[in-house]
Amino acid sequence: MTTNTGAQGRSSKQQQNPSVLDNFKPLILDVAVPLGSYYLFKDGFGMSTFAALAWSSVVPAVRTVWGLVKERRTNALAGLILVVNVVSLLLSFVSGDPRLMLAKDSGVSSTVAIGILVSVVLGKPMMTAGMKPFLLKGDADKEAAWERLMSGSAASSAAFLRKERAFSVVWGLALLAECVARVVGAYTIPVDTMVWLGTVIMLGAMAIAFVVGGGLAVEPMEKMLAAEVEAGKADRAGDAGVADKAGAAEVAVAA
């Protein structure tokens, strides 16, 4: 009996205070795993471009099918990565010089970048799925505050939505710049150098996106979220006070 209670307590605590891994799990599964596994299979294990793309498509394929069948919704990031991989698989049949192959490697990040930027224009920023768990951390009050801010009913909703879009814009531009840099490098830098430098450029672009996106969007959104949580508590306290006064007035009238 005591053991079960302890296990339930630990489970409840984990739900309320998810780890960093839990917060970034959507972004890791939908973007980092497919991209990272592609370069691992291709550069680390020496697989062909076709084989690396095929094996790196497993996770986004499973995630996309799972979303459609089990959750009755589409997973935008996983679906986009899957489409990009399928297109890249078809393009991998194109033979040519090694510089062309290096340039083709940047097609994944460029397509993801364009997809992210288009999602901002459509009003459904893709990167929000990865940022939201990090901001909410499983807190019910923050979840309610998030919904108010996103719905436009909160005082700082407009600023909050701008920051939400800015986060995706930063990631879209960073990945697009990474693509351009790698394409230019593919045709101007020795092939042997570009083989490893391309990965460095990709990791550098992601690091810049994390830092800039964090300072430009995530930190201000955390502050607005915290302020909205306090505003929500104040409103509930005010409503409780009004109810108490109303109850006291009814008692007085009855007496």
Q: Domain range for residue 156?
A: 96-255
User: For the purposes of burial, counting CB atoms within 10 Å of the CB of 179, is it exposed (0-12), middle (13-18) or buried (19 or more)?
Assistant: buried
Q: What are 18's two structure tokens?
A: 């998810």
With tokens 């109850």, the residue in question is: 247
Separation of alpha carbons 242 and 223, rounded Å: 29
Q: Taking CA 28 as the corner, what is the angle to CA 27 and CA 29, rounded to the nearest 5 degrees?
A: 95
* Claim to verify: residue 156 and residue 108 sit in the same structural domain: yes
Tokens (6 digits) for 29: 């599964």
Neighbouring CB atoms inside 10 A of 119's CB total 20
> Does 13 share its domain with 103?
no
78, 63 Cβ separation under 8 angstroms: yes
Q: Strand, coil or helix: what is 88?
A: helix
Q: Are residues 61 and 164 in the same domain?
A: no
- Location of structure tokens 């997973």: 75
**Domain boundary at 72, 94, 116, which?**
94
Claim to verify: residue 53 and residue 21 sit in the same structural domain: yes
Higher pLDDT, 15 or 233: 233
Domain shared by 4 and 104, yes or no:
no
Which of the listed residues 60, 94, 128 is the one where a domain comes to its end? 94
CA dist list (Å): 212 to 10, 21, 78, 130, 218:
35, 20, 24, 16, 9
Of 30-39, 110-119, 153-162, where does mean pLDDT reach its minimum?
30-39
Amino acid at 196: W
The arithmetic mean of pLDDT across residues 27-54, rounded, is 71
Contacting residues for 88 by C-beta, under 8 A, at least 6 apart = 49, 53, 104, 107, 108
Q: Are residues 196 and 159 in the same domain?
A: yes
Residues 192, 214, single domain; the answer is: yes
Q: Which one, of 47, 133, 53, lies nearest residue 92 by Cα?
A: 53
* One domain for residues 132 and 183: yes
- Same domain assignment for residues 33 and 110: no
Total domains present in the chain:
2
By the 8 A CB rule, do 222 and 138 touch? no
> Are 242 and 207 contained in the same domain?
yes
Residue 169 and residue 254 in one domain = yes
Report the mean per-residue pLDDT for the chain.
74
Q: Do 173 and 255 share a domain, yes or no?
A: yes
Last residue of a domain, one of 58, 76, 94: 94
- Give residue 30's pLDDT band: very low, low, confident or very high (50, 70, 90): low
| pLDDT 10s digits, 75-129 | 555 666 666 666 666 665 665 566 776 677 677 678 788 888 998 999 889 888 7
